[in-house]
Amino acid sequence: MLDNGIEPDRWSVEESVRLQDDGVLALLLDALSEGPNDILDAALVAACYAPFNARRVTCLLREHGARATPAALEAAADSTIAAILLDNSCSLDLSVSQWVAVLGAHVAEPAVLETLWSSVRIPARARTQALEVAVAQDAPSAIVKAVENARKSILRRDDIESTLLVQSAQCGATRCLYYLLRDYATISISLPKIRLKVIPDTYVDALERAALNAHHTAIDMLLNNGCVVTETALVAATLGGSETCLQRLLFSADIKELKDRSEWWHQSLLCAAYAGRVSCARVLLSLWPDKAAERIPLTDGGLGAAPLSVAAWRGHVGVVELLGEYCNWKQKANALEVAAYMGYPRVCEKILETLPQPLPGWALPRKAKHEGIALWLQDCTKYEKLKIIVFTLTGVAPLRLVIILALGVLGMIPAKLALLGISRPDDVRDLQPRITAWWRKALIHFMLLWVRIILFVAGFYWVNVEGSPDRRTRVYVSTHHSIWDTLYLMYYTGACEAAKSEVFDLPLVGTYLRVLSALPIDRRSDIGREAARRNMKERALDERYPPLIV
């Protein structure tokens, strides 16, 4: 075939190298064109894979002109081949990433790594990144070589401390971590503790990384060397989700001091609720075995959300069931609202099991937007459904509706009197005229009392209000579940609401809004929204207008 002018291909050359058939290999190489080519380079790489193949590698380099490529350096099977390749790669300009790939291929081969590490051509940045590869593979031979060369000033010892110790703890590379701790510590056979000589920040950072990634063996090694448990490490262990890691950290920490500062506890409990770590939440709650809600108030702790509501928002049934034992009615109702809105029927069921039956109306969710939530079909709402059926059949509900409509119509009389002589603006973007006459204000106060009578007939006999409003307030920002909460806010604070401009065209409702100096808002155009912002600002600055509810 060679006599017929067929040139050898790459596969045939590589196969002859693997079979160590020097005769066939010589014939194939002689048939190649002179000068460097890819087939020669492939043959060199194949020869480097075989150990004790230095003679064939030397032949390919010197007699046939093969090039010592990065692939050949990565394939070096022993230190002799690596040394030969380094001697013949002086003209080869490797980048940092290529040197990292070469060193990373031999992190588990001490002899080859030692030969490569001794080369002065390898930049320090490539050495550091290669050590990170060694940590990821948990190859301690590379770490030992780095420590030995740190004494020769090839790498700075501080760089090794700040990089490898934290990386080993984060990856759970226990063998690398053991060699690092052994080198940086004074080991005593008679003492179980090992005194470290590393910088504290690096040491603490390593413990926190190990806790976050749930590497309990690395945590044990660091704790046995005298590492101090920080609050951040406890939060990280909770987020990592390892009950074992959290227990070991708590066992090594000063529990009395930690109990005095409860912020870390709230943060950890929030992390457990967010990530669904039931076992970690149980460990945190076990710090107070009496399970008294007064001693363990599951409030937001200044962090923005209660743990039970966070667990309901994330849909973690197990955490909701556990935390439900410590919460009061209000917290459970808030969590039920969140779960209904997010669409988690199992979470709703767990919360409802802990609430007394029949469920009071104030505890029912107002915004169950998901079709999967049918709270009105749950057992807890049978009482509410029964009331609707009974009151409808007996005529109580229709009678109540008739009375409310009658009161609304009767309230039109003082409303119309208060609006006598006040024209309606042609443009909804214009401000309503100010009501300054004393008799008009008296009628408005009567209208507010009339609103409270309507609320009473509708079933709102007593409304529990926490705190008191500041009479100097000009703007109230409130949630809006239905028309009833807005009506009560108007009665309780004397403020008026901002409403869609279309509502002002409705009978009865439009007249009530006008007499109470409500602010119409046109949401359909940018001009209307800009006018609403301008009117809100002007209303807030003018004390002749009542306060505004938005």
Could you give the angle at which helices 22-30 and 38-49 cross, rounded to 10 degrees? 160
- 193: pLDDT strictly greater than 60: no
Q: What is the pLDDT of residues 137-171, one digit of tens each?
A: 666 666 666 655 655 545 555 556 566 777 777 77
- 333: pLDDT strictly greater than 50: yes
Give the pLDDT of residue 177.
76
- 288: pLDDT strictly greater than 60: yes
Average pLDDT over residues 214-218: 83
Where are the chain's structural domains? 1-93, 262-374, 413-549
How buried is residue 466: exposed, middle or buried, by Cβ count under 10 Å (0-12/13-18/19+)? Answer: exposed
The continuous run of DSSP H or E covering 475 comes out as strand 475-476
The DSSP letter of residue 7 is P
Give the pLDDT of residue 360.
56
Main-chain phi, psi angles of 138, to 5 degrees: 50, 55
Helix (H, G, I), strand (E, B) or coil at 77: coil
CA nearest to 45, candidates 69, 11, 15: 69
The DSSP letter of residue 326 is G
Give the pLDDT of residue 12.
62
CB < 8 Å & 24+ apart, contacts of 244-249: 244/216, 245/210, 245/211, 245/214, 245/215, 245/216, 245/219, 246/211, 246/280, 246/283, 246/284, 247/283, 248/216, 248/219, 248/220, 248/223, 249/211, 249/219, 249/223
How buried is residue 541: exposed, middle or buried, by Cβ count under 10 Å (0-12/13-18/19+)? Answer: exposed
Average pLDDT over residues 195-213: 68
| Secondary structure (H, E, C), 264-307 | HHHHHHHHHHHHCCHHHHHHHHCCCCCCCCCCCCCCCCCCCCCH
Q: What is the pLDDT of residues 62-87, one digit of tens each?
A: 766 677 777 777 777 777 777 777 77
Q: What is the pLDDT of residues 342-376, one digit of tens each?
A: 778 788 888 877 776 666 555 555 554 443 344 44
DSSP conformation letters of 365-426: -S---STT--GGGSGGGHHHHHHHHHHHHTTHHHHHHHHHHHHHHHTHHHHHHHTTT-PPPS
Give the pLDDT of residue 16.
65
Give the pLDDT of residue 303.
39
d(CA 171, CA 538): 60
The continuous run of DSSP H or E covering 339 comes out as helix 329-342
Give CA separation, 450 vs 313, 413, 439, 454, 490, in Å: 40, 11, 16, 6, 11
CB < 8 Å & 24+ apart, contacts of 215-218: 215/169, 215/170, 215/171, 215/172, 215/174, 215/245, 216/242, 216/244, 216/245, 216/248, 217/172, 217/174, 218/168, 218/169, 218/172, 218/173, 218/174, 218/177
The domain made up of 262-374 is a member of CATH 1.10.490.10:
no
Higher pLDDT, 522 or 375: 522
- 287: pLDDT strictly greater than 70: yes
User: Cα 175 to the chain's mean position, in Å?
Assistant: 31
Sign of CA dihedral 517, 495, 533, 481: negative
Q: What is the pLDDT of residues 465-521, one digit of tens each?
A: 777 777 777 787 776 666 777 778 777 777 777 777 777 777 777 777 777 777 778
Number of neighbouring beta carbons within 10 Å of residue 150: 17
Q: How far apart are the first and last CA of the chain?
A: 91
Of 4-13, 177-186, 224-233, the least confident: 4-13
Quick check: pTM over 0.75?
no
Give the pLDDT of residue 187.
35
Give the pLDDT of residue 302.
39
d(CA 32, CA 284): 73
CA nearest to 214, candidates 251, 242, 173, 176: 242
How buried is residue 91: exposed, middle or buried, by Cβ count under 10 Å (0-12/13-18/19+)? Answer: exposed
